[in-house]
Chain A
């Protein structure tokens, strides 16, 4: 009997334990691997990691498995929209979104979604970072603010140029959400409206005295004042904001003074040429084989861009094999005069060497981002493990911008900028009209995603027409891979809306106030 009582007592004790488990403490659990934002950023030392995270989306551009149109480096997109490259790949349906962009039939479901998303991730992280900086008391506070303003302007630069009418937000009011009202939607601004906002922050950054003008050794990759100035003139020229032309020109002069042109053009895009004397901003990739196609798609490591644009078969002494995207048109090869260093450093000529080509194959390939053995990691998936940095701005662009600004201001200095650049590159070219400047840029920036926008910002100037860009997209000197008029949108007529890409459907569906770019 005593045993029975003991048993009952034990059972009741268990019951009591059980009931006490119902307390609130029992339901409050701790996150074993993550700190709260308050815990984390109460430590000023951690500010650097927030800045780092704001840069991270830059290296997602080349491949983001989690989004449609996974391969959407802005260089790729801008060049297949230009008249210098075909789409290529294995056939006309390889990477459908790119193929459609290539023949101007992109739509809301075939648009570089990953680029759109990656840029907005960057914007959001910059905004968060600025919020953390409000409570930060380190000596480099103002410098960091200027740096983040510049970085955010770069993300917006991509969105603004490719999509025009973009949702714009900078806010921290509803931290940690973006500064958006209850519907999580931001106001869609016209290109001029968002320009006015972005340029304001760039001016703040450029006027910040503690913001270093050039990158410090060992810290290459951080935004600098020179980068901000390049962005500034990029925005001003594309916006055709005449009131700011002379300021922009002044900035270009500053940059030209600080960054000497590289004498050996071929070196610029080699491993040794990373962060060379004329490099203003690069996206850093490192030849480390830790990326993969699925969960580790956006690991900070190598890039897939060289494999993507590499020729179908290796070219002895020049590069390994790749997937044969963005074959270069023969008309581009013909742009170069004898003695111009840039031709062979920009284009791999596999004509007569290669035997197997791919779709739209001209046997001319992008040499600047070619898959070279010197850039390849020794382990990991080789396609994803090239260390080629992505060059964003080189001082050559400051020369082009300066010449263009001078020509537009009519100050007679255009010729001087062009001459300096031409002398450094070789080849005998003359002329300093807008058309000449645009053509010089066409030679300088093959495969760097500049051509499309430089033509557009000069559309209507004497000898420059966006229609040429469009017809150009359809035609190649060899005539082999011309799109038929039927294959081109609107039978080959460039329309205003072709300036922009369609806004992704996912966001149009989610935000009823968001309007598709007119024409799509």
Chain B
């Protein structure tokens, strides 16, 4: 839950001259916070019923002269206002923090709102919830807020997470819109250092997102960065250092098991056994490829320094940070690493603060500037085509890591390029020809990691300038200009090497590319707030214009002068321009993308009892044709706080608050790229042709770029939301429940038309998706003696349905693993969740011929079918035609969970603080595709040990032979992907102030924490959390698992 003290300018009153007059007394004293005893600066001290008042100074001192017997009122944002009878002389004031949720402030689009009158569905997390996260901001959202599903794409350092708000809203891009300090940020928010963040709000329903109309269909995440706190400058330094390890090593076959089982395969398939098990035992080679691959105790460290403070004129927050993480696969080879430098300066200047007049009473100017530099290197993850971990799972254990006969290997590859050696010159074994079988893309993963990767980098500057002028009364005008400028690029290089028969480049090359992106946004808003005898109005009118520009440039050249890992540049080559393919370049400006918008919002409440809000936004986007530029997105919401009704005045004391909410709204999505509505000419290598004899110049081809659809328009998303918020026991217990139904209509999608049009298929407004769900948030605070407890939990239930795919058939294949022998593994169909796993349903294993005959089943198409044999999987004949073929593929699971939940427990006792954050999902499946069914002699998951070897041996794992249909996609490969994870557990101790104050340290805390300590799951693979794209969610092809990290650190403030 949340509080934003500093966002609001301190209310001041004109200081009246305090003449010593008859009947007047002077009181003075110090205002301190009850929480920590710190002096409070800027507290308003006013004589009740007059305009006489003052504010406390830097040390919390105040002095005021007022009438005898008067009452003074001490008020301060975020604290409970206190009335004190004037006695005269020294009167110290202790202000209590306002912990009652009702007066909390919630950040909404273009403003803030008291939580008590919020009528929309908004989840939030604050700086404390983020504190345990040092890598990426999106990780902090995991399990922390209802309605938000965060799935890691991989455990690779710097890897993004897939964030879905209220489910997969569209088959199109379902990423939410990120607004950081008012500025929309494209390309994710990994440039933010988590410790710079004050709060994150997730706008879940259409009504709250409506003010961002065009882009709010997938939800909005509003990030607010930190500001200074009124008072003396505070210098903070946070440090942490951690050790990362894999949580699991996947169980695969050892050498003897491997040889035995492949011999059995040979026998079952009618071939001779090829492995001599005794010889293998004697030879003793039994390579555990995974163990050789892991980078044990991979370090991760974080430093963050900040200076902040505020006074009447200036509010400032400066920070600098450094984060460095080594990956648990390849980090030790400098192939999977992430490094981030971040700097931030947030400033607000109060130019005018004249409480004595009603016009132009306040002028604030704010400047936020952030700069982030990131270096990252990554290896291919979750791929069946020779990714390091995929190879480690599948390489035969009979192969050593290092060549056991370097002379013979070198002789056998005499004509081939350089064989890969390690730093000390030892030759790695070559995964190319094993028992006469080429292992296709499989690699020696350590040899692969020994190759250079110059990696990628990015520089991002985000700035925001604004001026806010109070024109008259509460009429405010705000103008803001924000920019998001990013530079990013990557380099790659090939050095001649021999990896396997499919990867043996003989020529070196280097590639380098640069990209630039620049977005500016200009916004102007007019707002007016007024309360008249219980009726509160908030009116907002605004305009927004945004433009993205960008450019890219790249170069490529062959024939490096020398193989020097530090100089892998296109210019470090002898490539000559005579041969066009040896040196080339590319570059252009990107197509601009513009958005022009007008919006208005009216909020009204009567004594916080009845609330109403209506929003309308009209957006224009350059992504649509001239006739369809604009669309209008309306919304409204209502709320009723029944506990403020007179008929409930006599309710029990423990029942604090109950508010009912309902909202309806329409949002849009324009995320389709430029020019989809029209056709252009396209050129490119694939359209060229060589005419004439060998060596002739190439002829360039040009063709229509596609099939246009000038009618495409905005994707629309309509959402209903009903909710209830309740507080009990002096607000120690609070509970919120929301129900929603979100319908996306006219989904922007490539039309699944026939391929025989001979051209890229057009995008159209087709299809309809529906998400319905329930969300629960609960928190409870209690104390036992000196021990403070806080428990918070959230749970979200989501039901996703593809209502209409937009084609007559209403279905389509979305993920296929043909090469690996599975065929189609994910599919979508009207009326089902989008997408789902696809294949045959199994019903055990045929134990004997009698069972086969009794089933009457034949496998294959009618004309080419064969009867199964004992040991084969029994497939369910969905259409009852007696044949098992593609017509029998059906839904066999889904990657998106039904339930996403998280809960956390905080305990504070004297100087100790403890937190445990859990997170998990229920009702999700994992498709275990960590096999290459097409390659002979690969290693296999250990479950193959339970294979059928004769009647009664197994009713789950089929016979191991070359039969293709046992390897066809079926629910045999689908596993329960539910899990419960202890995401973070942390124990901290804050040193007593008496000790630290001597060293001018106001606060010193040390902590130890562990991320990802345990995961309770039935899944045998590395990690049941598998993000990737919407269609590939839950598909495990050898995912780079998330590390378990043991972290030590300290936080020091001066």
- Residues of chain A whose beta carbon lies under 8 Å from any beta carbon of chain B: 3-4, 7-8, 10-12, 14-15, 17-19, 21-24, 26-37, 39-41, 46, 48-50, 52-56, 58-60, 68, 90-94, 96-97, 103-105, 107-109, 113, 116-117, 120-125, 128, 167, 176-178, 180, 183-186, 218-222, 271, 274-275, 284-290, 296-301, 321, 323, 356-358, 378-383, 387, 486, 489-490, 495, 497, 504-507, 509-512, 514, 519-520
Contact = CB atoms under 8 A, between A and B. Distances in A.
Nearest to A503: B756
B629 A27 contact: yes
A455 to B, nearest CB: 20
A506 B481 CA distance: 49
Given A32-B589, A90-B440, A124-B759, 9 more contacts: A105-B864, A116-B755, A220-B691, A289-B581, A299-B685, A300-B686, A356-B436, A383-B502, A497-B863
Contacts of B688: 52, 56, 299-300
A288 B580 CA distance: 9
A380 B690 contact: no
Interface in B509-553: 522-524, 543-545, 547
Interface stretch (B86-94, B141-149, B295-303, B809-817): B809-817
Contacts of A91: 437, 934-936, 962
A490 B543 contact: no
B758 A37 contact: no
Given A178-B758, A284-B690, A26 B596 contact: yes
A27 B596 contact: yes
A219 B692 contact: yes
B685 A296 contact: yes
B351 A18 contact: no
Interface string B961-996: 010100100000000000000000000000000000
B678 interface: yes
B695 interface: yes
Contacts of B707: 176-177, 184
B360 to A, nearest CB: 5
A93 B759 contact: no
Contacts of B882: none
B694 interface: yes
Interface hub of B505, B593, B757, B935 (most chain A Cβ within 10 A): B757
A275 B698 CA distance: 17
Contact of B863 (A3, A27, A383, A495): A495
A221 B693 CA distance: 9
A379 B504 CA distance: 11
Interface string B727-749: 00000000000000000000000
Given A60-B686, A220-B693, A18 B522 contact: yes
B479 interface: yes
A55 B689 contact: yes
Contacts of B864: 103-105, 107, 489-490
A32 to B, nearest CB: 5
26 contacts: A7-B469, A15-B543, A18-B544, A21-B596, A24-B626, A36-B678, A37-B680, A46-B702, A49-B683, A93-B933, A103-B864, A107-B886, A120-B756, A177-B757, A178-B759, A186-B754, A274-B694, A275-B693, A284-B689, A284-B691, A285-B690, A299-B685, A299-B688, A379-B558, A383-B502, A509-B812
B828 to A, nearest CB: 12
Interface string B799-819: 000000001110111001010
Contacts of B440: 90
Contacts of B479: 11, 14-15, 18
B703 A11 contact: no
Given A15-B479, A29-B593, A104-B864, A109 B692 contact: no
B685 A298 contact: yes
B696 interface: yes
B598 A379 contact: no
Given A274-B693, A288-B581, A510 B620 contact: no
Name, among B589, B693, B754, the residue most crowded by chain A CB atoms within 10 Å (CB to CB). B754
B352 interface: yes
B85 interface: no
B591 A519 contact: no
Contacts of B699: 48-49, 52
Given A18-B524, A510-B809, A28 B754 contact: no
Contacts, number: 323
Contact of B708 (A176, A506, A510): A176
Contacts of B751: 184
B753 interface: yes
A123 B807 CA distance: 24
B622 interface: yes
Interface of B: 351-352, 360, 363, 433, 436-438, 440, 467, 469, 471, 477, 479, 481, 501-502, 504-507, 522-524, 543-545, 547, 558, 581-582, 588-594, 596-598, 620-622, 626, 629, 674-675, 678-683, 685-696, 698-705, 707-708, 751-759, 807-809, 811-813, 816, 818, 821, 823-824, 860-861, 863-864, 866, 885-886, 933-936, 962, 964, 967
Given A22-B543, A46-B702, A52-B700, A93 B808 contact: no
B689 A221 contact: yes
Nearest to A313: B433
A408 B995 CA distance: 111
Contacts of B621: 27
Given A24-B626, A31-B675, A53-B702, A19 B685 contact: no
B28 to A, nearest CB: 34
Given A109-B823, A379-B581, A21 B522 contact: yes
B406 to A, nearest CB: 21
A275 B626 CA distance: 51
A7 B689 contact: no
A3 B620 CA distance: 36
Contact of B758 (A31, A121, A505): A121
A510 B437 contact: no
B626 A90 contact: no
Contact of B962 (A40, A92, A113, A222): A92
Nearest to B810: A509
Contacts of B594: 26-27, 29
B755 A37 contact: no
B703 A7 contact: no
Contacts of B694: 271, 274, 286-287, 387
A189 B816 CA distance: 31
Contacts of B755: 113, 116-117, 120, 504, 506-507, 510
A487 to B, nearest CB: 8
A134 B830 CA distance: 44
B811 A509 contact: yes
B698 A32 contact: no
A120 B754 CA distance: 11
Contact of A380 (B507, B674, B809): B507
B469 A8 contact: yes
Nearest to A19: B543
Contacts of B866: 486
Given A68-B818, A92-B964, A507 B934 contact: no
A184 B626 contact: no
Contacts of A15: 477, 479, 524, 543
A278 to B, nearest CB: 16
A125 B626 contact: no
A24 B629 contact: yes
B758 A94 contact: no
A511 B761 CA distance: 14
B702 A40 contact: yes
Nearest to B359: A4
A37 B811 CA distance: 34
A18 B545 contact: yes
Contacts of B598: 22
A218 B522 contact: no
Contacts of A14: 479, 481, 522, 524
Nearest to B691: A221
A88 B579 CA distance: 36
